[in-house]
Amino acid sequence: WWEENSKEAYNTGLANASVAFDNYAKSKSGERRGKRLGAPRFKSKRKARLACRFTTGTIRVDVDGRHVTLPRLGTIRSHEPTAGLLTRVQAGTARILSVTVRHERGRWFASFQAEVKRDVERVTRPDVAVGIDLGVKSLAVMADSTGEIRTVPNPWHYDGALKLLRRACRTVSRRQGPDRRTGRKPSKRWEKANAARNKVHHRVANIRQDALHKLTTAVTAEYGTVVVEDLNVAGMLRNRRLARQIADAGFGEIRRQLGYKTHQRHATRIIVADRWYPSSKTCSGCGAVKAKLPLHIRTYACDACGLVLDRDDNAALNLAALARACTTGTGVAGDQDAVKVSKPRGADQKTRATRRSRKATAGRAGGATLPHQRQTQARDRTHAEA
């Protein structure tokens, strides 16, 4: 059976195991931030998501813009047009590093990891900072440093589909499904009903992804500084009354997208407020801090100066004001780390050679970076795009 499959099928598993052991060791020694990780466990054959990462061999987006060629699997018709990546590859601004094939909710996906050379896009208001307060009632309240407040309503993707989903699930449960104990195979009608249910899940996920990208792209294209809160999303998900809504809103994903879009697309700043920064309890007018402000109180009324405004508006204004405090320093509260690009096995040799030579030239010019050089470096910044 070894020869029947691509060698990458086995290599992916070994590479993942290696990463897992590495994370475990680093977590144990305190090198890795975040929750303590245990020793790697075996994946379940039944539950694990099927995925395989191809790093060598013929990986290609075909010129017709409708097919992809993968090692061992050959040329496959893609459902979506591949024009976006294809034009970049043909223009020489993208280099494909690897491709990951995965099975999700009944569909197969091929995600390309590519190194893309793109110009830093200018933002429309580089001097304005925006504070973003994420919430369940309205997805985001954005206040900029000029005092303008905008509210993005929560689209309720999942709740909107709940009725459809309930119906689809009921149909599935009435059909003869697979049974592991008796070895019963699912019936054709079960498979059909299950596919219909998968479709609903897909639709919710796609609508959510689209809305989040539109929101973060618009924000990062406008402002020079973006201030967000460092929310404890994992902790908030433990609240069983709010978990569904919080997971649906995608707070963590908004943070991640804002992070890479500010750094890599526009070379702007993102400031992440400390987790314990009292953005809701502070008065945006006079700076007085309340000791307590329960979640059900939706309007903020200041005891010191008598200011009354919406709770979320107040929090967003406080976050925007935080940008001013961080302007002079190097960004104490800031998260200036560039987003790390995970390189697949042995795929980065070519790039490293060119990078080193470029750095050597800059070094010979006398150490300090000149303005025009800085610009070049920013333009050469690359990033991975699926």
State the catalytic residues: 133, 229, 312
Nearer to Zn ion, 139 or 283 (CB): 283
For CA atoms 98, 101, 102, 106, give the dihedral sign. Answer: positive
Query: Applying CB under 5 A, does 283 fall inside the site for Zn ion?
Result: yes
Q: Is 342 helix (H, G, I), strand (E, B) or coil?
A: coil
Nearer to Zn ion, 40 or 285 (CB): 285
Span from 12-20, 112-120, 271-279, 306-314 in contact with Zn ion (CB under 5 A): 306-314
Query: Applying CB under 5 A, does 172 fall inside the site for Zn ion?
Result: no
Q: How far is CA 61 from CA 9, 110, 355, in A?
A: 21, 11, 26
Span from 58-66, 94-102, 298-306, 331-339 in contact with Zn ion (CB under 5 A): 298-306
Tokens of 235: 């902790």
Query: Applying CB under 5 A, does 305 fall inside the site for Zn ion?
Result: yes
Query: Applying CB under 5 A, does 286 fall inside the site for Zn ion?
Result: yes
Residue 300: CB minimum distance to Zn ion, A: 9
Query: Applying CB under 5 A, does 285 fall inside the site for Zn ion?
Result: yes
Secondary element (H or E) of residue 27? helix 7-29
Residue 319: CB minimum distance to Zn ion, A: 16
Query: Applying CB under 5 A, does 338 fall inside the site for Zn ion?
Result: no
- Tell me the sheet residues that pair with 101: 52, 110
Binding residues for Zn ion restricted to 12-31, rule: CB under 5 A: none
Contacts of 214 (CB under 8 A, 6+ apart): none
* Spatial separation of the C-alpha atoms in residues 133 and 312, rounded to whole Å: 7
Query: Applying CB under 5 A, does 302 fall inside the site for Zn ion?
Result: yes
Query: Applying CB under 5 A, does 304 fall inside the site for Zn ion?
Result: yes
Residue 282: CB minimum distance to Zn ion, A: 9
Residue 333: CB minimum distance to Zn ion, A: 22
* Spatial separation of the C-alpha atoms in residues 314 and 296, rounded to whole Å: 15
Neighbours of 215 (CB within 10 A): 20
* Spatial separation of the C-alpha atoms in residues 116 and 108, rounded to whole Å: 24
Binding residues for Zn ion restricted to 35-94, rule: CB under 5 A: none
Nearer to Zn ion, 121 or 303 (CB): 303
- Could you tell me if residue 194 is left (phi over 0), alpha (psi between -120 and 50 degrees) or otherwise beta? alpha
Q: Which residues bind Zn ion (CB under 5 A)?
A: 283, 285-286, 288, 302, 304-305, 307
